[in-house]
Amino acid sequence: MNKMMSNKWIIALYMLPALLLLALIIYIPIVLTGYYGLNDWNGIKAMTFVGLENYKELIGDKAFWSSALHSLLLALFSCLSLILYLAVSLVLASKIKGANTLRKIYLIPMLLSSVAIAQLWLKIYHPSNGLINIFLEKLGVVNTPEWLANTDIVLFAIFLPILWQYAGFYILIYYAALKGVPKEVEEAATIDGATAWQIAYRIKVPLITEVLKVTLVLAMVGSLKYFDLIYVMTGGGPNGASEVMASYMYRIAFKSFDFGYASAVSFFLLLICLVVTWLIRALTASKEQIQY
Amino acid sequence: MQGLPLRSTAGSSPIGAAGRAVLYIVLFIIAVVQLFPIYWLLTFSLKSNQQIFSSHPLSFPLQPKWENYEKVWSAGNIGTYFLNSLWITVVATLLTVVIASFATYAITRMNWKLSKLALGMIMVAMMIPVHSTLIPLYSMFNFAHLIDHPLSIIISYIAFNLPITVLIMLGFYYTIPREIEEAAVMDGSSIHRLVLTIIFPMTGTVVATTGIVNMIYNWNEFIFVNTFISSNELKTLTVGVQNFIGQYTTDWGAIGATLMISILPILIAFIFLSDRIVEGLAAGSIKG
Amino acid sequence: MKTQKMIVLLFLILTVVLAGCSSSNGGSNGSAEGNNQNESNSANPDPTSADEKVTINFMHLWPEGVSTAQNKVVNDIIKQYQDEHPNVTIKLEVLDNEQYKNKLKVLSTSNTLPDVGVTWAAGFLQPYVEGGLFASLDDLLGNGLGDQFVAGTTDAFQVDGSTYGVPLEFNIAPIYYNKEIFANHNLEVPTTYDEFLNVVQTLVDNGVTPIALGNKDRWTGSLWYMYLADRIAGQEVFSNALAGKDTYMQDSLLQAAGEVQNLVNLNAFNKGFNGLSNDEGKADFYNEAAAMYLMGTWELANFTANEEIPQEFKDKVGFFKFPVVSGGKGDANSWVGGPGVGLFVAENSPVKEQAKQFVAYFVEKWGEKAVTDAGVIPATKVDTSSVELADLYVELFNEMNNATSITLYADVQLEAEAAEVHLNQIQALFGNAATPEQFSEAHEQAIKK
């Protein structure tokens, strides 16, 4: 058994397609991006090597740091909202009438492309004709907020659709994981007199810790490099108030045509992701042993 | 699906009943909230720009503009785009899931020193924003004469979705009991047979889950298509949206109609696959 | 076990080969030289023989769905050209505005531009010219084509005295207004800025939004700033400051920026304008909630031919020139506007000569059809007496002929990086997040860079 499970050729055979693809399609571009980051390059003229000049500029770039802060905030909110997603999944996975239909309905927004979601939320947030402000006006609010134009609230206004957009994704994963918990475990606990809450918190959740850890990493990394909705809904504005790292990078590359600097930004983004992921794994590592 | 009590001990107490009523109301409200985008998209797709920007966002147009759908259908090539989207999505999704399954198995179940490193490599691959890979990828594909070739988008889809697919699978593979493999090996099964006939069928749930996720991503992707493909015959349905974005104006109603049409196949696939999740569980949990 | 080893080895060899190829290519892709690897072209390296089959790749941004008229004009011209030149095939690729710009950028990094494509003037064009990617079109213009253009329209496509693009559009930006709303409040078309402020104030007092603006797109707000700068500082001072020939830190320019904020504080613009796109912002003008809208003449098609817009609304639309500011140096016949898109020919195109011929043919035919068929005002001369046009078009054509100067849109005029700074600062200025001093300071730095 052990001999078979450590056969190098078989391991290589199973791993190679994945690793080769990643090496070709992702690692070579990462290395090249790293190289572009050391150059001054507008994508047209020949590159000029400038060493760490771009990184020096990055350190003093206030706009970048504010976008990094926004990204980290988004990551934090995404991680917190995982709790909400998990709660919904726990309810869905417990014995509820019509759970099967509800589950499908809950995941529908996930199928929509970002274009559609952005349009929907633009209609919700519209300052004079939007769903929220129409509602607030009916309640008698006079100075209804300008959701996407007010630099103080735009960042949080933009988080909501993102969290909503990803609800389906995480609920799908949690639901599948929870359904994988053997029925016998639950039944045994029920006979012992455990409440639904106890079963969920003490038995089901610990059994899917691996999945939880994975989603934590996914939420973190996904948020740090998030781009779609923000770009369509606010373009990072007004005045950079909703800019995140990836939208900042995109603007530098494709609007300001400064590919060298943009590459430095994306390399830095990669570094931040690495540190955060490493932190998550370090913080959750202790429990890993118990699983085996 | 029988109406088993939510809590066996307190289920009959008045608090429990009231609690359950509240729970159902909450569940119902969430369902309405989640369904509302589809209704909204329908009304959106039946309006003119004028109505979209001035009428109440939820109002159903008095004179529905079915011409929007006509416009979308009659715009040349929609059939070709549709078929391209379909086969590219299916091929890329299948390959991603298969390649990821093998990799996940090797990482989680087999013993080798570098498995942690390999996993790390896969995770790092998730951290690079798409836009910063466009230029290097384009020059690579251009060199390999893969520009304007479907292979360029298919392998890009696979590579970019692999990390997330492996990660989702990871958690599930860890929970497969060792005894199953040991029993199979005792019976004299080879490792390939073990993986193909015992492990893969057991992971039906996660395969369906990652399958859905991959499909949605591939179906809606447009950055790679726009960059690597130039022939009309090879473009996908997301081009349909662009067809209505002009230099100074955008035909939003027609975009709504395109989105409405393009969501249907994915909706069908989703309903089918999400049932598979439950079936996969039934098959997988027998021995669990 | 042997087969496994074989497969693994095969995989490895494949990667080494592929990786070797791609990395060697990656290193060299920054250079501007190198061959065009566009496969469809490489079979025709010799442009001299006329009978040889030639494929010209042409990338444009008028999708069939929304720019139906332009798309049709393009296709008609191409069909005609191919009929007259049976050996030529024109291969099209159509993308929307933003995707088009992005793709052009990516293509330029590998030096694989299409043979013919759409470009913008000045700041957009300049890096492509400096990188040697666009071909000089001087020979075409010298060959009679130059006379067909309205004087000065090709200037914005010049770098160091050579022309690298031929314009297809020419626009100026008037203030459109709703005649009925003006009449209801006994308002006259303002000719001075004080009258204009009075109009704004009256409308605000009566609960009508004076101006529709969607400033998420930023260039929309830039038009307002540009006019104020032009009227207060004068066309010459403003142009010199934008071109970096003179300092941006001038009292008159500070005053213009301050005037923008004055308008904002008067509530002249619709609510939440900084978070609205142009499409969303202008909706207030179209549904008659706002009285005025400053926009380029491309909007005319909506006030005339567009069947989706009700006729009763179209009848209410008029326009006026941006009013003069008393004590300011600008005059009423100075406009913000300029050529929109134009065509370029790729320098390394293997079919460069044929591509140039096609461009010349295209510009001429486009000039004949653009206004009548697509409502686009071409940069070539239009004989307004021989074609039947809506009144609004005729009136604006006259204004163009009487123009004393036309200042090119700042975001087109400036190079990419400075243009981004300008646009961001516009949003900050309108949002009261930057003072006029900070605004001018940022421009000073960006333009000098």
Other Cβ atoms closer than 10 A to C391: 9
Is there a domain that residue B56 lies in? no
> How far is residue A232's CA from residue C201's CA, in Å, rounded to a whole number?
34
C120 and C47 inside one domain: yes
C25 is a domain residue:
no
- Give yes or no: residues C165 and C189 share one domain: no
Question: Per-residue confidence at B268, pLDDT binned at 50, 70, 90?
Answer: confident
Facing residue for C30 by CB, picked from A17, A41, A234:
A41
A127 to C271: CB separation less than 8 angstroms, yes or no: yes
Q: Which residue in A166, A172, A231, A256 has the most chain B C-beta atoms within 10 A of its own C-beta, making it the best mutation to test that interface?
A: A172
Using a 10 angstrom Cβ sphere, with 0-12 exposed, 13-18 middle and 19 or more buried, the burial of residue C208 is middle
CB C427 within 8 A of CB A148: no
Confidence of residue B76 (pLDDT cuts 50, 70, 90): low
Mean pLDDT on C40-44? 42
- Give me the pLDDT at residue C385, please: 78
Q: How many angstroms from the chain centroid is the CA of residue C195?
A: 31
Cα separation, C179 vs A181, whole angstroms: 70
Q: Indicate the number of domains in chain C.
A: 2
| Judgement on whether residues C74 and C107 belong to the same structural domain of the protein | yes
CB atoms C93 and B135 under 8 Å: no
The predicted structure's pLDDT at residue C46: 46
Chain A contacts in chain B segment 91-130 (CB below 8 A): 99-100, 102-103, 105-107, 109-112, 118, 121-130
In a domain, C237, yes or no: yes
CATH code at position C60: 3.40.190.10
Of the candidates C382, C406, C437, which is a domain's last residue?
C382
Beta-carbon contacts of residue B32 (< 8 Å; ≥ 6 apart): none
CB contact under 8 A, C93 and B144: no
CA separation (Å) from A185 to A95, A182, B181, B267, C133?
A: 15, 6, 22, 34, 69
Residue with tokens 């204004």: C399
Q: What was the pLDDT predicted at C1? A: 55
**Residue numbers of the domain that contains B220:** 77-284
pTM value > 0.90: no
CA C288/CA C284 separation, integer angstroms: 6
pLDDT band at C442 (very low <50, low <70, confident <90, very high): very high
Name the more confident of A143 and C183. Answer: C183
pLDDT class for A217, splitting at 50, 70, 90? Answer: very high
Spatial neighbors of C68 by CB under 8 A, at least 6 apart, are: none
Q: Which residues of B touch A263 (CB under 8 A)?
A: 132
The per-residue pLDDT for C14 is: 66
Q: For chain C, which chains pass the contact test of at least 3 CB pairs under 8 Å?
A: A, B
Neighbouring C-beta atoms of residue C375, cutoff 10 Å: 22
> What is the model's pLDDT at position C30?
35
Q: What's the average model confidence in pLDDT over A5-32? A: 92
Tell me what pLDDT residue C35 has: 40
Share of chain C above pLDDT 70, in %: 89
A106-110 average pLDDT score: 86
Rounded percentage of chain B residues whose pLDDT exceeds 70: 90
Residue of B nearest to A273 (CA): B127
**Tens digit of each residue's pLDDT (9 = 90 or more) over B120-169:** 999 999 998 899 899 999 999 999 999 999 999 999 999 999 999 999 99
Same domain, C257 and C318: yes
Predicted confidence band of residue A291 (pLDDT cuts 50, 70, 90): very low
Q: Compute the nearest-CA separation of B83 from chain C (Å).
A: 19
| 3-state class (DSSP) for residue C91 | strand
pLDDT value for B167: 92
- Domain-embedded: residue B9: no
Complete DSSP assignment for B61-116: PSS--THHHHHHHHSTTHHHHHHHHHHHHHHHHHHHHHHHHHHHHHHHHS--TTHH
Burial group, residue C329, by CB count within 10 angstroms (0-12, 13-18, 19+): middle
CB of C32 within 8 Å of a chain A CB? The answer is yes
Residue B259 resides in a domain:
yes
Stretch C367-390: mean pLDDT, rounded? Answer: 86
Which of A87-96, B12-21, C194-203 holds the top average pLDDT? C194-203
> Which among A8, A85, A108, A213 is the top mutation candidate for probing chain B, defined by the most B β-carbons within 10 Å of its own β-carbon?
A108
Q: What gap in Å lies between CA A27 and CA B147, rounded to an integer? A: 19
Query: pLDDT, tens digit, for every residue of A40-85?
Result: 998 888 889 999 999 999 999 999 999 999 999 999 999 999 999 9
Task: Using the predicted structure, report yes or no on whether residue A4 has a pLDDT greater than 80.
Answer: no
ipTM: 0.89
C408 within a domain of the structure (yes/no):
yes
Asked whether residue C233 falls in the same domain as residue C132, the answer is no
Same domain, C196 and C308: yes
Q: Is residue C438 part of a domain?
A: yes
pLDDT, mean of residues C220-247: 95
Give the number of other Cβ atoms within 10 Å of residue A205's Cβ: 17
Tell whether B100 is covered by a domain.
yes
- Average pLDDT, stretch B209-215? 91
Is C93 close to B230, i.e. CB distance below 8 A?
Answer: yes
Q: How far is A108 from chain C (nearest CA, A)?
A: 27
Q: What is residue B84's predicted lDDT score, i.e. its pLDDT?
A: 93
pLDDT beyond 80 at B213: yes
For residue A127, the distance in angstroms to the closest alpha carbon of chain C comes to 6
Which residues from C are below 8 Å from B234, CB to CB?
none
Tens of pLDDT, residues C323-364: 999 999 999 999 999 988 999 999 999 999 999 999 999 999
What fold, for A37-291? MetI-like fold (1.10.3720)
Instruction: Give the residue on B whose Cα is nearest the Cα of A116.
Output: B259
Structural domain contains residue C288: yes
User: Which of B34, B112, B142, B195 is the mutation pick for testing A, counting most A CBs within 10 A?
Assistant: B34
Mutate to test the interface with C, among B192, B247, B249, B250 (most CBs of C within 10 A): B247
* Structural domain boundaries enclosing C101: 40-169+340-382
Is it the case that residue C34 has pLDDT exceeding 50?
A: no
| Chain A residues within an 8 Å CB radius of C419 | 255
Q: Do B144 and C112 touch (CB under 8 A)?
A: no
Two structure tokens written together for A117: 């979601």
Q: Mean of the per-residue pLDDT values for chain B?
A: 84
Mean pLDDT of chain A: 88
Is pLDDT above 70 for C29? no
Highest mean pLDDT: which range of B172-186, C12-26, C184-198 = C184-198
What's the pLDDT at B280?
55
Residue B206 belongs to domain with CATH number: 1.10.3720.10
Q: Nearest-CA neighbor of C119 among C89, C142, C152, C97? A: C97
Whether residue C22 lies within 8 A of chain A, CB to CB, comes out as yes
Mention every residue, 6+ apart, whose C-beta is less than 8 A from residue C180. C288, C316
pLDDT of C208 reads 95
Q: Which amino acid is at B21?
A: A
- In chain B, how many domains are there? 1
Same domain, C267 and C132: no
| Within-domain flag for B38 | no
CA distance C428 to C439: 8
* Chain-chain contact of A238 with C431 (C-beta, under 8 angstroms): yes
Q: Please determine, for residue C18, whether its predicted confidence score (pLDDT) is greater than 90.
A: no
- The region of weakest confidence among B25-29, C234-238, C338-342, C384-388 is C384-388
pLDDT interval class at C116 (50, 70, 90)? very high
